[in-house]
């Protein structure tokens, strides 16, 4: 019996359904995928049975500079040695807020939290406090966390929880205009993602015309433009992700990669929303923890020095080009979508994901950890050699299916 | 210029209102209290200007076994060395779930999260999924986190966010019966705190008759009894806190002290709610982080070996007795409320907290960090000598006001 199946048997007794959320391999991943890992280093993972993988999920985003990155780890450890939690924060909270305000164009202030969802929810509260209005538009199918307002798809969420969150279609200017009109004088904000990275779908980059239309609608109505940069943040740009489309948000939500996996999230905001941000009461027991803040500063330094978005795009493009060549040569129709830093690979005519699951299972057996229906992530720990080694595995995976 | 005032000036430019939430000294604490700390060890804190304090807030609860407790720190560090985050959890998640299921009487399963609020919100979702109903009763004035459903007091929260959360009066059987009746056949759950620990109020221990009445109402209606043990958990009992009143919850929410300050929260539930728990989608990027889980196991061991609730009660009683004697001798009417492990000290006829603030300011000047209107916390790092040393400070503080 493998260690993984032993742990699954034990886990099934004490964890509902064996595992929960996005890390439930049971309900989400192809055969052969491990439920439990033992070691992580650089861009590599080892499962509890000692199998090694080149990782293309980066812990669903947080890992951007390598598991156990020595410089970031050292910064967190040094902070932990003297102060991690206390009755008030350490000076590192000011250092990090200053750093982000300097780096992110629209930001004049910062609030730190733990979950990306804390950040998106706080953006909503600030937008509502600033405008005195209630309605927040969200794109249908977009993921902004598993709190009730953002989780209309899950059980346990009655309609009242999202009655103030009408939907629009991402990249569809007519749709968002109609939603704004329907919200009338009760529109507090519009939440947008960096791009359309809905799980299980082909990804859509943001149409700059759409971005400008959203900015214009917010300017005309006084609503806040809220950018959820939790998933894409720091991979597409070292500024807010919509900066590449020439559009600045009023409020932005960050998490995942900003501290290379140390648990921290951030809300950044413009001057106009400072007073409202000071008027809402948002907090959490661990939101002021110092070591993830020290890790965040080190991470931002590492990303800046490496020009991370450019480097990650090159790595992603190398992987994408290789997959394209292999699929062409072996006669598979694949659809690669999303930005190269966060590639998504799905098969044509594969509604039930059967081909995608088979391909991923076979890649896994070759030591390449892919995801069949969720965007993947590159990191600075990946080298060209790692990409090439992974492509050897995917070539065999195509051959096997 | 002190380092603290320099940091405040910098912080005011990049943090709304200078600081947010429960760690905003600006809006919450008496004169002289530092906004920034530099070092934490055992039961002691040092502010950025090097002043040393015996701490009675324990970071608002998380610290229960000493800042930087070597055994707990070592467990977290060892885990961090090999695996902290990955694409799925480490085996430590199973170890911790098993440990809690063994230790907490009502628990048959566990889900881990980051914020206490993640845990209380997940309890609500599970209760709603299990019952197919919407309404969750909460005690008026009780704190269950700063997410909108729990934060009707703050700006940015429209009434729809808490329309499904009618209130009752804690310890008032008639009041909760009336609330249950009003909810009719839409009652999904009743949220209770370990005891009435509302900030700014004299604390009220849970009346066992009230606890039994709540249990009975839940049994009769099929609603879930949800115990919010985030703040009091592991200090009153090493089982769920209502166990001391002979009442078991269906779902319980934990956070703060369970890993001595490493960021983790937990939902524990009974068999009846397992299937519903498996049916809701709740997750967060950092919810599976391994090092806080390793810290939690070590913390639970430390607390069990020390019989923490008994030891903390003895320490708290020693402090309480000392304060009582001093107040009597020096002619002050003080009201000490709450359990000795989490003492609250307020002054008679002090609605505006003027006397309390003056007392705390003077105690602070003597190196004793108290809170004028929030419950305080004892830890295993406090010694009888620390309590006696703190009492020397409070004696001088009484004399000074």
What percent of chain B clears pLDDT 70, i.e. is strictly above it? 100
Chain A residue nearest residue B14, CA to CA = A109
Ramachandran area for residue A338 (φ above 0: left; ψ -120 to 50: alpha; else beta): left
Partner B contacted by A114 (CB < 8 A): yes
* Residue A117 touches chain B, beta carbons under 8 Å: yes
Percent of chain A with pLDDT over 70: 100
- pLDDT of B183 reads 98
Mutate to test the interface with B, among A9, A165, A286, A375 (most CBs of B within 10 A): A286
Report the chain B residue with the minimal C-alpha distance to residue A49.
B91
pLDDT band at A252 (very low <50, low <70, confident <90, very high): very high
CA distances from A145 to A142, A151, A254, B25, B121 (A): 9, 7, 12, 30, 13
Q: How far is CA A98 from the centre of its chain?
A: 23
Is it the case that residue B1 has pLDDT exceeding 80?
no
* A239 near B CB under 8 A: no
pLDDT at A113: 98
In this model, does residue A373 exceed pLDDT 80? yes
Is A248's pLDDT higher than 80?
A: yes
- Nearest chain B CA: its distance from A209 CA (Å): 30
Tell me the mean pLDDT in the region B395-400. Answer: 98
* Residue A187: predicted pLDDT: 98
pLDDT tens, B280-299?
A: 999 999 999 999 999 999 99
What is the enclosing helix (H) or strand (E) of A26? helix A25-28
Alpha-carbon distance of A244 to B159, in angstroms, equals 37
Q: Could you give the domains of chain B? A: 3-65+307-400 (3.90.1150.10), 70-305 (3.40.640.10)
Among A155, A230, A283, beta carbon nearest to B279: A155
A271 touches chain B (CB under 8 A): no
B87, B155, B288 ranked by CB distance to A45: nearest: B87
Quick check: A155 and B284 CB within 8 A?
A: no
C-beta of residue B211 within 8 angstroms of C-beta of residue B247: yes
pLDDT one-digit tens code per residue, A19-68: 999 999 998 999 899 999 999 999 999 999 999 999 999 999 999 999 99
Mean pLDDT of chain B: 97
Neighbour-count burial for A295-312, b at 16+ CB within 10 Å, e otherwise:
bbbbbbebbeeeebbebb
Interface test with B, best of A134, A156, A258, A360 (most B CBs within 10 A): A156
> What's the half-sphere exposure (Cβ side, CA atoms, 13 Å) at B287?
30
How many Cβ atoms are within 10 Å of A6's Cβ, its own excluded?
A: 15
Give residue A361's pLDDT. 98
The DSSP call for residue B318 is H
B226, B251 in Cβ contact below 8 A?
Answer: yes
Chain A nearest C-alpha distance from B127 (Å): 7
Distance of residue A331 Cα from the nearest chain B Cα, in angstroms: 30
Phi, psi of A178 (to 5 degrees): -65, -40
pLDDT at position A173, please?
A: 98
pTM over cut 0.80: yes
B153 contact residues in A (CB cutoff 8 A): 281
Instruction: With CB atoms and an 8 Å threshold, state whether A88 touches B36.
Output: yes
Contact B15 A94 (CB under 8 A): yes
Interface test with B, best of A8, A88, A131 (most B CBs within 10 A): A88
Average pLDDT over residues B335-357: 97
B269 touches chain A (CB under 8 A): yes
Binary contact (B90, A23; C-beta < 8 A): no
Per-residue pLDDT at A160: 87
The DSSP annotation for A317-353 comes to HHHHHHHHHHHHHHT--EEEES-TTS-EEEETT-TT-
Give the pLDDT score at A1: 76
The pLDDT, as a whole number, for residue B153 is 74
Establish if A161 touches chain B: CB-CB under 8 angstroms.
Answer: yes
Contacts with B88 from chain A: Cβ below 8 Å: 19, 23, 25, 34-37
pLDDT digits (tens, 9 = 90+) for B47-83: 999 999 999 999 999 999 999 999 999 999 999 999 9
* Edge-to-edge order in the sheet of strand B265-269: B109-113, B265-269, B251-254, B224-228, B187-193, B135-139, B167-168
Distant-in-sequence, close-in-space partners of B203: CB < 8 Å, separation ≥ 6: B195, B196, B197, B337, B338, B339, B342, B344, B375
Is 80 exceeded by the pLDDT of residue A153? Answer: no
Interface of A with B in 67-86 (CB under 8 A): 67-68, 73, 77, 80-86
pLDDT of A343 reads 98
Q: pLDDT class for B255, splitting at 50, 70, 90?
A: very high
- pLDDT more than 90, % of chain B: 95
pLDDT at A147: 85
Which stretches of B184-273 are DSSP H helices?
A: 208-221
Please spell the DSSP secondary structure of A258-311, one letter per residue: GGTTSS-EEEEE-GGGHHHHHHS----TTTT-HHHHHHHHHHHHHHHHTTHHHH
* 3-state secondary structure (DSSP) of residue A11: helix
Residue B236 near residue B244 (C-beta atoms within 8 A): yes
3-state secondary structure B106-128: CCCEEEEECCHHHHHHHHHHHHH
CA nearest to B94 within chain A = A11
What's the pLDDT at A152?
81
**Range B186-212 burial, b when 16+ CB lie within 10 A, else e:** ebbbbbbbbbbbbeeeebbbbbeebbe
Chain B interface, mutation test: which of A284, A287, A288, A295, most B Cβ atoms within 10 Å?
A: A284
Give the mean pLDDT of A225-234: 98
- pLDDT on residue B152: 81
Q: Which of A36, A230, A256 sits opposite B90 (nearest CB)?
A: A36
The chain-wide mean pLDDT, for chain A, equals: 97
A238, burial (CB in 10 Å: exposed 0-12, middle 13-18, buried 19+): middle
Task: Report the Cα A397 to chain-centroid distance in Å.
Answer: 27
From A59, A114, A129, residue closest to B115, measured CB to CB: A114
Residue of A nearest to B262 (CA): A286
**A161–B163 CB contact, under 8 Å:** no
Residues in chain B with CB shorter than 8 Å from the CB of A108 are 14
Q: Compute the average pLDDT of residues B106-115.
A: 98
Q: Show Cβ contacts of residue B66 under 8 Å, excluding neighbours closer than 6 positions.
A: B41, B42, B43, B260, B379, B380, B381
Distance from CA of A255 to the nearest CA of B (A): 8
Cβ of A36 within 8 Å of Cβ of B89? The answer is yes
A275 touches chain B (CB under 8 A): yes
Q: Do A88 and B286 touch (CB under 8 A)?
A: no
Q: What pLDDT does residue A103 have? A: 98
Candidate from B82, B118, B278 with C-beta closest to A115: B118
Does A98 contact B63 at a Cβ distance shorter than 8 Å?
Answer: no
Task: Return the structure tokens found at A139.
Answer: 């794109």
């Amino acid at each position: 019996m493998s260690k993984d199946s032993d742990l699954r048997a034990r886990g099934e007794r004490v964890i509902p359904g064996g595992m929960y959320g996005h890390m439930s391999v049971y309900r989400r991943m192809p055969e052969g995928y491990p439920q439990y890992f033992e070691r992580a280093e650089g861009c590599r993972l080892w499962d509890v049975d000692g199998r090694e993988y080149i990782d293309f999920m980066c812990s669903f985003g947080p890992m951007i500079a390598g598991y156990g990155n020595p410089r970031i780890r050292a910064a967190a450890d040094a902070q932990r040695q003297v102060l991690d939690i206390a009755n008030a924060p350490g000076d590192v909270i000011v250092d990090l807020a200053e750093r982000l305000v300097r780096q992110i164009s629209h930001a004049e202030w910062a609030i730190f939290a733990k979950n990306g969802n804390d950040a998106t929810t706080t953006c909503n509260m600030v937008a509502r406090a600033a405008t005195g209005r209630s309605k927040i538009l969200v794109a249908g199918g977009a993921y902004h966390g598993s709190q009730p307002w953002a989780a209309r798809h899950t059980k346990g969420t009655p309609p009242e929880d999202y009655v103030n969150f009408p939907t629009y279609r991402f990249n569809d200017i007519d749709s968002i205009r109609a939603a704004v009109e329907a919200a009338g004088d009760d529109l507090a904000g519009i939440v947008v993602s960096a791009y359309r990275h809905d799980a299980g779908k082909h990804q859509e980059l943001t149409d700059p015309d759409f971005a400008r239309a959203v900015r214009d609608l917010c300017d005309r109505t006084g609503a806040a433009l809220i950018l959820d940069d939790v998933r894409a943040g720091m991979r597409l740009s070292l500024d807010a992700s919509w900066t590449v489309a020439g559009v600045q948000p009023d409020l932005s939500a960050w998490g995942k990669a900003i501290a290379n996996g140390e648990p921290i999230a951030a809300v950044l905001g413009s001057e106009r929303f400072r007073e409202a941000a000071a008027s809402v009461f948002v907090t959490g027991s661990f939101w002021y923890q110092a070591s993830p803040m020290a890790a965040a500063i080190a991470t931002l330094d590492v990303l800046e020095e490496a020009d991370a978005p450019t480097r990650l795009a090159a790595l992603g493009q190398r992987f994408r080009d290789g997959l394209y060549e292999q699929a062409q040569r072996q006669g598979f129709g694949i659809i690669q979508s999303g930005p190269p830093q966060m590639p998504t690979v799905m098969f044509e005519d594969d509604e039930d994901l059967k081909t995608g699951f088979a391909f991923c299972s076979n890649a896994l057996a070759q030591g390449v950890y892919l995801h069949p229906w969720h965007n993947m992530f590159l990191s600075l720990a990946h080298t060209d050699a790692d990409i090439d080694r992974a492509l050897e595995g995917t070539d065999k995976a195509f051959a096997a299916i």
